[in-house]
Structure 1
């Protein structure tokens, strides 16, 4: 045992740098794996805990009085056992707001605002949690409560004053508190609930045209039984629910999507880094056995068993792994906390900080890494069993290996192809690559992985930042300007159309609205989907041409006629429908039999939506005029800002316009902020790992060839030329790896990542490929490999030819 202990300490002392680098590699592998597991676990746990704490709703109903009597619906749900319903909360819809005293924000002005007539707290469903300001039963007069999702994103605090407009008049209210509002508090907000004092609500909206709408939250004791409740609702009411409904899946999706994406990337790359670490350990042990073959033979001849020789390697790397895993686990808690808090910041309050769970699982990850290291060491160190003392002492290798080498040298002498006419630097570099094939494979693998990681990060960030180019593939239109009507009584569509179409800068215009569509579960009784809950989803209506405004489909085409409909991929999946099938849909209480002409994807509502032409709704409502948004295309999109300013000045009392780019920027602002940090961390980690491993591997190769390099120096070859030749060989390998990495990062990894987004309504991840940036990031991998190789060869410059030859 003392011999094992002594040899282990000798190996640790002799290869301090190399052992330290392997320790760092194990640390980083542990960090990525533990962080990814912690992020995925806590994303779900934190959301679930807050949802339970606030008695969050599983479904949110929005009711008018045209299709259902809100009071009857509320009464029916109050009578159901196993369901808790909120109060029926009146609200009015406004468009955008301003933060007084600060620069105007086009992102804030594009938000859809639900101005709530706040009932007295506490609430049975969707209780509000206070993050800033004094907790009260209801807002005081002249004040509002603002959700954290908007306050944190746009730097609004308690005490700020916000401005609103009804189209007829402007008014201001002071933020008295910032609250967590679960149903409308997710990241990437496009709509938000503003909680008003009842007196303010009456004063501002009594004179406003239109009627109150109502919201009501439903919380089920067993959410899986909601289907049976809705079937009973349809029987009792004599018709399916036709108004708008948000499901738990829709409310929770944007809380979870970013961290699930980040967690997946990290767990994938963590496993890749772990494999690289194991390959490096295996390469190091194999090389050590070959390099010290004669020494091992002598030790075995003196009586040390093969089992104890294996124990030397096992003890050495187990000690390194244990020392590396502990700080990796500690660091993962900090990194995980940072990522989770940045993506779920809307759930964070000043009083209750986000505390991460899953320490035991993180420890299990550490144990898993340790077991992998031990198994790897056992596998590769088992080669020491095959060392025969007599052969080792005589040949310095096995007899079979010596015979193979002799035949190889003889073959080289008779080989017609040689490096005789190649430049000396190229010969030395290529010889180093070909002689150390395992090391060369490891270097190429590293640069492949590093370039793939860097390219993937760049492609994702560039694609999200350049969403304007791929907006139709995310489910948006590609028009240049969006106009929203704020006051229908003061707005004339006929006059607007006449004025806007006479402008030579305008290419075309389309008017958009939406209704809530319903597919009754009765229609599915004879299919395998007979237990599907009646589907309520938004149906977009367009007076114009979908194709002209840039809307696209994955299969088929957009609807044009009164008997056609295009549906989102999740609607198609749930209904088991495809292009050419018939769908029975209720629109505004009327039944329509529509042919599916296309299937499309949309991130905005998880592809739970559909598209129809205005002719469909006009079959029963010839005077339909529910359009609230106009999408305008320009002949030259550089005129967008000028046209927007002119429209806002001319129609300031009835409508507001905003450039489409501004709307998209507001939507993706938080996505970019959430992605850039973890992708940067992973890019830096893999860059550091690449430099570390290539440095370590090159040092091993140089140590094995020290006598050869001593001879080179003694006959007049300078250290710089030797180092350049070695670096050149590494650059050739890294170039091959970088090319493969580009293909993996651009084509393979996005497809794997896209599988996660399929549940969120995106079947094909829209990418914007900037090849200049892609090649630049791939070059970073090549440069890192070159730096690692150059740094490792510094020992050649420092050592004299005599010492190298002696070694």
Structure 2
């Protein structure tokens, strides 16, 4: 046993750098795998815990379009024994906030605001958790509570004064508290609930045109039974629920999406890093057995058994694994906390610290990594069993290998491949690659992985930060300016149309409205049972052309006539419909049969939406003119800033203009911020690991070929030329690997990542391929490999030819 222990320590001391590299690979594998598992687990757990803590609703109903009596709907749900509901909460809708600090003013102006008449706390359902400020039963007069989602994103603090407008009137309120608002407080906020004092609500908003709208939150004892309640609702009310409804899936979607993407990338990279570590361990053990074949033969001749010989390698790598896995698990806990806090910042409160769960699962991951390492060592070290002492001492290899080598040397003159006219440096580089095939395979694999990782990170970040170029494929328009109607009572559509259409800078205008609708298969609404339940969704109503506005479809085309409709891809899956099929729709309380002309994808509402022309609504409502937004395209987009300023001055009491760049930036700013940190860390890790591995492998190869390089130097070849030849060979290998890595990073990995986004209504991931950046990052792989190889070959320059030849 002492011999095994001594030889194990000798192996560790002899190759300190290489053993340190393998330990680093095992550490990084453990780090990435444990972090990914912890992030995915805690993302769901933290949201679920906060949802339970607030007695969060499973569904949020918004009523006010006079399609249902809010009091009757509230009474019906209040009578259901296994459903807990909120009060009937009045609200009015406003557009945009003005921050007196002038921070993020353009982005804040694009928000849809639900100004709530706050009932007295506590609430049985949809309770509010205070993150900052003084907790109270209701906001004090002159103050408001705002959700953490917009407060953290737009740097709004307790004590800030925010301005609002109802059109003709403007008023200001002071932020007294920041609260966690589960249904409307997720990442990428486009709307927010602003909780007002009842007196402020009455004084500031009751003079607005129109009536109060109402929200009702529903919490089911068993959410899986919700569909049966809605079937009963339809039977008792005589009609499906025709107004707006937000379900639990819509509430949770954007809380989880970023961590799912980050978790997927980390799982993939962790698995890849683990495979690289195992391959490197296998390569090292195989190389060590071949390089020390004679020594192993002598040791076995002295009486050390094959089992104990294998035990040397197991002890060595078990020790390396243990000292690597434990720090990896500790660091993963810290990194997981950073990622979870950054992506779920809207759930963070000032009084509570993020407490991560899943330590036991992380430990299981560490044990799994340890077992993989031991199994790999067992597999490769088993080659030590076949070492025959007599053959090893005589030939330095097995007799069969010696015979094969002899035949190869004897037949060299008849070899089909000739390097007679090839430049000498290239010949040496190619020879180094061909003679060390396993090492070359590992290097090319590293180049592929590193290039794929860097390219994927760049493509994702560039595509999201430049989303204006692909906004139609995300379900948005691509117009230059959005004009949002703030106060319909003083807004004159005819006057605005006349002024804008007479402006030579404006190319076209499309007016958009939003209403709630019910879609079903043709038989669903007229039968007791149906294979697919009717689906409640948002209907986009367009006066103008969807195509000119920039909306696009995956299949088919946008609707143009009053009997046509385009539906989101999730709606198509739910109803099992395709282009050309017919659906039944309840719109504004009236039933229509519409032909599906197109199917599109949209991340904004998970593709649970549909598009119709205004002609569909005007079949029953001839005077429909309830448009909330105008999409404006310009002859020259460079005029947008000037035109936006002019419109905001001209229509300051009735509408607000903002560029589409600003709207998209406000929506996706958080996504870019969440991805930058993990993608940067992983890119740097892989770059560093690749350089170290190539340095280590090249150093092993050079030591094996030391006698050959000594001969080259003794006949006049300089150290610099030898180093260049070795480096050029590895650069050539890494260039091939980088080319393959580009293909994987641009096409294969996004395809896998797209399967995650399919749950969010994105069937085809919209990417922008900036080939200059892609090729530039792929070149980083080649440069890293070249630096690692060049650094490893310093031993050739430092050593004299005589010593190399003797070695």
TM-score normalised per structure 2 = 0.99
Residues 797 and 630 of structure 1: CA distance in aligned 2, closer, same or farther (over 3 Å): same
Find the counterpart in structure 1 of residue 25 from structure 2. Answer: 25
Does structure 1 residue 645 correspond to structure 2 residue 631?
no
| 1:230/1:533 contact within 8 Å kept | no
Local SS of the residue matching 2:484: strand
| Deviation >4 Å, runs of 4+ | 525-529
Cα offset, 1:531, TM superposition:
5.8
Instruction: Please list the CA deviations of residues 467-526 of structure 1 after superposition, one character each: whole Å capped at 9, or x if unmatched.
Output: 111000000011111001111121111111111111111111110001101136894489
| Aligned-partner Cα distance in 1 for 2:528–2:727 | 63
Find the counterpart in structure 2 of residue 380 from structure 1. Answer: 380
Local SS of the residue matching 1:6: helix
Residues 526 and 198 of structure 1: CA distance in aligned 2, closer, same or farther (over 3 Å): closer
Does structure 1 residue 700 correspond to structure 2 residue 700?
yes
Instruction: Please list the CA deviations of residues 233-278 of structure 1 after superposition, one character each: whole Å capped at 9, or x if unmatched.
Output: 0011111100100000001000000000100110011001100000
1:502-513 residue pairs with structure 2 within 5 A?
502-513=502-513
Q: CA RMSD in A?
A: 1.4
Cα offset, 1:530, TM superposition:
3.2
Find the counterpart in structure 1 of residue 296 from structure 2. Answer: 296
Local SS of the residue matching 1:93: strand
Local SS of the residue matching 1:768: coil
Find the counterpart in structure 2 of residue 755 from structure 1. Answer: 755
Cα offset, 1:111, TM superposition:
0.4
Of 403-412 and 123-132, the range deviating more from structure 2? 403-412
| Aligned-partner Cα distance in 1 for 2:636–2:525 | 52
| Aligned-partner Cα distance in 2 for 1:311–1:488 | 82
Cα offset, 1:151, TM superposition:
0.4
Does structure 1 residue 498 correspond to structure 2 residue 505?
no
Find the counterpart in structure 2 of residue 201 from structure 1. Answer: 201
| 1:509/1:631 contact within 8 Å kept | yes
Find the counterpart in structure 2 of residue 627 from structure 1. Answer: 627
Instruction: Please list the CA deviations of residues 619-641 of structure 1 after superposition, one character each: whole Å capped at 9, or x if unmatched.
Output: 11111111110001111111111
Residues 613 and 525 of structure 1: CA distance in aligned 2, closer, same or farther (over 3 Å): closer
Cα offset, 1:415, TM superposition:
2.5
Q: Which runs of 5 or more residues in structure 2 are unaligned? A: none
| Aligned-partner Cα distance in 2 for 1:595–1:522 | 11
| Aligned-partner Cα distance in 2 for 1:528–1:635 | 54
Find the counterpart in structure 1 of residue 429 from structure 2. Answer: 429
Local SS of the residue matching 1:566: strand
| Aligned-partner Cα distance in 2 for 1:89–1:787 | 66
Find the counterpart in structure 2 of residue 258 from structure 1. Answer: 258
1:259-274 residue pairs with structure 2 within 5 A?
259-274=259-274
Local SS of the residue matching 2:479: coil
Instruction: Please list the CA deviations of residues 515-563 of structure 1 after superposition, one character each: whole Å capped at 9, or x if unmatched.
Output: 1011368944899993644311001000011111111111111111111
Does structure 1 residue 283 correspond to structure 2 residue 295?
no
Residues 178 and 248 of structure 1: CA distance in aligned 2, closer, same or farther (over 3 Å): same
Find the counterpart in structure 2 of residue 733 from structure 1. Answer: 733
| Aligned-partner Cα distance in 1 for 2:175–2:495 | 38
| Aligned-partner Cα distance in 2 for 1:3–1:533 | 73
Local SS of the residue matching 1:184: coil
Find the counterpart in structure 1 of residue 616 from structure 2. Answer: 616
| Aligned-partner Cα distance in 2 for 1:546–1:528 | 36
| 2:520/2:532 contact within 8 Å kept | no
Cα offset, 1:103, TM superposition:
4.1
| 2:520/2:575 contact within 8 Å kept | no
Local SS of the residue matching 2:145: strand
| Aligned-partner Cα distance in 2 for 1:129–1:565 | 41
| 2:521/2:582 contact within 8 Å kept | no
Aligned residues: 807
Of 520-529 and 280-289, the range deviating more from structure 2? 520-529
| 1:341/1:348 contact within 8 Å kept | yes
Does structure 1 residue 775 correspond to structure 2 residue 775?
yes
| Aligned-partner Cα distance in 2 for 1:104–1:567 | 34
Cα offset, 1:803, TM superposition:
2.1
Find the counterpart in structure 1 of residue 485 from structure 2. Answer: 485
| 2:447/2:782 contact within 8 Å kept | yes
Find the counterpart in structure 2 of residue 799 from structure 1. Answer: 799
| Aligned-partner Cα distance in 2 for 1:745–1:628 | 41
| Aligned-partner Cα distance in 2 for 1:115–1:205 | 9
| Aligned-partner Cα distance in 2 for 1:529–1:266 | 44
| Aligned-partner Cα distance in 2 for 1:158–1:562 | 50
| 1:96/1:109 contact within 8 Å kept | yes
Local SS of the residue matching 2:274: helix
Residues 529 and 607 of structure 1: CA distance in aligned 2, closer, same or farther (over 3 Å): farther
Find the counterpart in structure 2 of residue 318 from structure 1. Answer: 318
Find the counterpart in structure 1 of residue 55 from structure 2. Answer: 55
